[in-house]
Amino acid sequence: MVKRHNNQLPDNLPQLQNLIKRDPLSYKDEFLQQQQHYQSLMNVFQLRPDQPNKQLDDLVMFMAQVAHCYPDHLVNFAQELITLLQTHNTVLDPGMRMSFCRALILLRNKNLLAPTDLLSLFFQLLKCQDKNLRKFLETHIVTDIKNINAKHKNARLNTTLQNFMYSMLKDNNAKSAKMSVNIMIQLYKKNVWNDAKTVNVIAAACFSKVTKVMVAALKFFIGSDPIEEKKSDDSDSDDEPNPREVMMANKVNKKTRKREKQLKKVKQLAQKAKKEKSDAPSFNFSALHLIHDPQGLAERLFRQLEKTHERFEVRLMTLDMISRLIGLHQLILFNFYPYIQRFLQPHQKEVIRLLQFVAQSAHELVPPDALEPVLRTLVNNFVTERNTSDCMAIGLNAVRELCLRCPLVMTADLLHDLAEYKNYREKSVAMAAKSLIHLYRSSMPELLHKKNRGKPTEASIEIKAKKYGEVDAKDYIPGAEVLLEENENNKSGDDDDDSDGEWVDVSHSSDDENNEDDDDENKNEINKGDEKVEIINDSEEGKQNESKEQEKKIVISDDKVTDNSQLSTNNSYNKYEIINEKKQQAAILSVDRIFTDEDFERIDAALIRKQVESAKRGKKRPHPDDVINKPKNELVSLADIEMIHKKRKHDKQQRIESIRKGQEGREKFGYKDGRVDPFSSKTNREKRKNKNFMMVRHKVRGKVKRSFKDKQIALRNYLVKQKRMR
């Protein structure tokens, strides 16, 4: 006789869970029965917590699923699990411990558990010797804090958790401290905790006794741009095998263990790449700006660096962070430069990065005396002809980046010697030397030799070299005098507008214009409204009259030019007076006028035009990679130092493509058949080209260059034959 089971709900927890969620009141008795069963199993489990219990595992997940249906009966359910985990977290079975954590996460998602209690517990569980559990808890902590701060920042909760993480960093357990740092870094990159407190807590981890914690904190501060990392990842992914192709090859080819391992590895790489694509985007915020005491942090890091016995890679990261702090916050740390100076050797490991750190740690407030030994060492060890051309070019590029941030460290004699490399036989060295010359043309042209200063432009004559510690604070908008000139030109152009609606440049005459010498090439004309003023270049005549011109006081108004002393016939005056006059006009205009966006666009265009317009109003083609227009970045890029202008060798495929490209659009190369009748017979010479080599080998052998002995024998035989014929 078949036994009937009318009520299977006590044994079928998923079905009972589904029914309770639909109608909690109707199945309350069944729930209470399961609750009593749970209590009895829990009491037994606490006696031996290291033994797994499958029934308790299922009941815990069942109670967590239906906890929102009976909140009064399960009010102490979450606290029981928390107490159990706090008491027996190290001895619990890994499967049971994971199930209890999953149940607590379910209760947290149903808002039946406060976030502070759960997160505090999970931070304590990070000490467990269970890698899967730690990874699972880390993911939940980051996700939970992100969801809490999704709509608005919960400052109170964030402060509590940050204080707890700060205490975890000082914990003796290395794994929990490392996980705490990773959580804070992820929250910063996800733009959840991007405040100064988080940054300073991570900065405190740089002094941890645990190497992994210290390295994680240093990597956070010296991390590169996410865009560059993405590009490098894309370039690396091109070399990886395609999973589809490997699977097809493994299906067709012979089954071997090697191919199975390769297929398994390819699947793992594909899964990893898919996971990285699904990660949240990271934002490029500069965390170094949010440090409270950068000077103290740099000094503590340097003291730690001097005493440390870590491997070279860790010390290199510490040097990188110290150099960034010095350059970014313009700190003074004199002991840093002699320390890094001893590593500046061409054979040194990672020497290009060390050159980058030297350039990063330079700024205008560092005394030139502190950086001069570093510059001398750099030049003596790299910029010498005993090194390769690439080494010399890298040394010159490093000198340029160093002088870009501290121009006063360079001396005139040293700059003259380095500038002579512009005619070096290797292009990479010559281009590096020219970039150094271009740099000083825009900053301190008086240090350069006269032949290297280039053609003077309107911008170059206004350059004034700053002394150490001098700040160039302007009380006017540079270039504002252009607006005044444009207004006057527009007024004068209204009377000269042609019928086509185009502006025509008209040279307005003055009383002194008839006395001008047309053959004088040393004069430049500057139109200012209705007057014409001539500038004498720095020629011999100008130098002789320079003392006389300085004695004159010129007052230029908007209507005319008046001279307090007697004006000379050519109306010439010193270039410094022109610069001062422009500054006065810009200052007056900056006070009396409110500039619009169009005015600022005109000013910017005028400042750019000054870079290429010479004093003679002649124009030259601007160099696209000119160092003059290069902005001074906060950080030094390795590409700036490794920038070697050299044509690299092409591989065979690139050479073939270049040859094919050059053959396009021209006649077919090779032997041209000049026969009138294409069906006529060929000559023996043409037929010989298609013959087998063995048939013409004896003739080819005769063309081989004879030795000196064979020539002597042939000459002797020839002379003997000639003697007999006589």
Residue with tokens 């009520």: 7
Instruction: Compute the distance between CA of residue 329 and CA of residue 616 in angstroms, rounded to an integer.
Output: 42
What integer is the mean pLDDT of 665-682? 75
Res. 80: pLDDT tops 70 = yes
Is residue 190 predicted with pLDDT exceeding 70? Answer: yes
The mean pLDDT value for 41-52 works out to: 88
Q: What are phi and psi of 282, to 5 degrees?
A: -100, 145
d(CA 259, CA 8): 50
pLDDT tens-place string over residues 115-133: 888 888 888 888 788 888 9
What is the pLDDT confidence band of residue 646, given thresholds at 50, 70 and 90? low
Share of the chain above pLDDT 90, in %: 25
pLDDT given for residue 398 in this prediction? 94
Q: Is the pLDDT of residue 517 over 70?
A: no
Q: Output 495 or 421, whichever has higher pLDDT.
A: 421
Is residue 318 within 8 Å of residue 218, measured between CB atoms?
A: yes
In this structure, the number of other CB atoms found within 10 A of the CB of residue 103 comes to: 22
- How far apart CA 75 and CA 325 sit, in angstroms, is 52
Could you say which DSSP state residue 702 is in? Answer: T
Out of 1.25.10.10, 3.40.50.300, 3.40.50.720, 1.25.40.20, the CATH code matching 293-455 is: 1.25.10.10
Range 371-380 burial, b when 16+ CB lie within 10 A, else e: bbebbebbbe
Beta carbons of 126 and 108 less than 8 angstroms apart: no
CA angle 365, 368, 369 (to 5 degrees): 125
pLDDT digits (tens, 9 = 90+) for 480-502: 776 666 665 555 555 554 444 44
pLDDT of residue 694: 87
202 within 8 A of 217, measured Cβ to Cβ: yes
Instruction: For residue 646, list its beta bridge partners.
Output: none
> Which residues make Cβ contacts (< 8 Å) with residue 583, sequence separation at least 6?
476
* Dihedral sign from CA coordinates of 622, 625, 628, 631: positive
Do 368 and 388 form a contact (C-beta atoms < 8 A)?
A: no
**341 pLDDT band (50/70/90 cuts)?**
very high
DSSP 98-155: HHHHHHHHHHHHTT-S-HHHHHHHHHHHTTSS-HHHHHHHHHHHHHHHHHHTSSS--H
Backbone angles phi, psi at 537, to 5 degrees: -70, 175
Q: Which residues contact 233 (CB under 8 A, 6 or more apart)?
A: 276
What is the pLDDT at residue 579? 66
**Tokens 């510490």 appear where?**
318
Residue where the block lists tokens 């160093």: 402
> What integer is the mean pLDDT of 460-468?
71
Q: Would you say the C-alpha torsion 562, 564, 568, 574 has a positive or negative sign? A: negative
**What does the pLDDT read at residue 222?**
87
Higher-confidence position of 515 and 324: 324
Structure tokens at 62: 């069942």
Check pLDDT > 50 for residue 380. Answer: yes
Highest-pLDDT range among 43-47, 154-158, 569-573:
43-47
Ranges of CATH 1.25.10.10 domains, the chain? 293-455
Query: Residue 499: what pLDDT?
Result: 41
pLDDT band at 10 (very low <50, low <70, confident <90, very high): low
Which residue type does 140 have? H
Q: How far apart, in whole angstroms, are the C-alpha atoms of residue 610 and residue 485?
A: 15
The whole-number pLDDT of residue 4 equals 46
Tell me, what's the pLDDT at 192? 87
What does the block give as tokens for 377?
Answer: 């060492």
pLDDT above 50 for 516: no
Q: Report residue 148's pLDDT band, with 50, 70 and 90 as the boundaries.
A: confident
At 457 the pLDDT is: 67
Q: 179, 131 in Cβ contact below 8 A?
A: no
Mean of pLDDT values over 310-315? 92
Nearest CA to 437 among 465, 460, 416? 416
Record the tokens describing residue 519, joined without a space.
């053959």
What mean pLDDT value characterizes the chain? Answer: 76
